[in-house]
């Protein structure tokens, strides 16, 4: 089953249409939110699930003393989604095949340094 068109965004990578959805979990004790990124071909196939990315909420941190930089609040853009898709394909994700979700482990410094 493909991602819901109302709750996901469309992106074209190498003439293939994908849909993606980004959500966040509840914050942990340090105030970090785990980002959940799910990507799937618009025509269906296996899902790509990205794990290991974190962000913070600026508005929750504004009253906290301490120095925070923009690197503490990364935002996933379409450019990052393209990078994720290409990296997953290099690691063996075949988006046109049906089956279990392909899990891609990433770290903030890996994705947001591109």
Global pTM value: 0.84
Query: What pLDDT is stored for residue 63 in this prediction?
Result: 63
The helix/strand/coil state of 17 is strand
Identify which of 87, 112, 104 has the alpha carbon closest to the alpha carbon of residue 37.
104
Q: What is the mean pLDDT of each run of 10 residues along the chain (114 residues)?
A: 83 95 84 90 93 78 64 83 96 94 90 72
What are the sequence ranges of the domains in the chain?
Answer: 9-109
Query: What pLDDT is stored for residue 64 in this prediction?
Result: 66
Question: 28: which 2 tokens?
Answer: 């942990």
């Amino acid at each position: 089953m493909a991602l819901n068109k109302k709750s996901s965004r469309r992106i074209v990578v190498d003439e293939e249409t994908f849909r993606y959805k980004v959500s966040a979990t509840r914050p942990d004790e340090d105030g970090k939110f785990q980002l959940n990124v799910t990507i799937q071909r618009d025509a269906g196939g296996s899902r790509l699930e990205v794990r290991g990315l974190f962000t913070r909420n600026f508005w929750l941190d504004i009253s906290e003393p301490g120095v925070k930089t923009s690197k503490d609040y990364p935002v996933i853009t379409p450019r990052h989604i393209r990078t994720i898709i290409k990296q997953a394909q290099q690691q063996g994700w075949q988006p046109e095949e049906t089956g279990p979700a392909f899990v891609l482990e990433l770290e903030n410094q890996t994705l947001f340094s591109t």
